[in-house]
Amino acid sequence: MYEAILIPTSLFLTIFGIVYIFLSTRNKERLALIEKGANASIFRSNRNSFQKIIILNLALLFMGIGAGVFIALLLATYTSLDKDALYPAMIFLMAGVSLFIGFKMTNSLDK
């Protein structure tokens, strides 16, 4: 009876714990650097470029998933390959290719 509530609760507590530890550790590191006299400008990262990279990779990932579904549909229609294995294979293949392309494109943005 109580097993159904155990999984979402433990998932929530795990995510909360990870975020809490990340933020508290970051705060302690920043305070230690400030106490040593470090320049405060090191804390200001270029968030704009990070957001561009995330948006680029997500866009390419979704386009790769769409292309994988489309290619799997074409292969399932015109060949006698197994449909149960074809769809996940093409989705993962094209998603991986798109993430690799996104990695190469973000490397060229840094240069």
pLDDT in tens, 50-95: 788 889 999 999 999 999 999 999 999 999 988 889 999 999 999 9
Give the amino acid at 4: A
At residue 47 the predicted structure's pLDDT band, cuts being 50, 70 and 90, is: low
- Residue 43 CA to residue 54 CA, distance in Å, equals 20
Tell me the three state secondary structure of residue 76. Answer: helix
| Domains of the chain by residue range | 1-44, 45-111
Q: Does the pTM of the predicted model rise above 0.85?
A: no
Residues 32-45: pLDDT tens digits?
888 888 776 666 66
Tell me how far CA of residue 72 lies from CA of 13, 75, 83, 110, 111, in angstroms.
Answer: 39, 5, 8, 34, 36
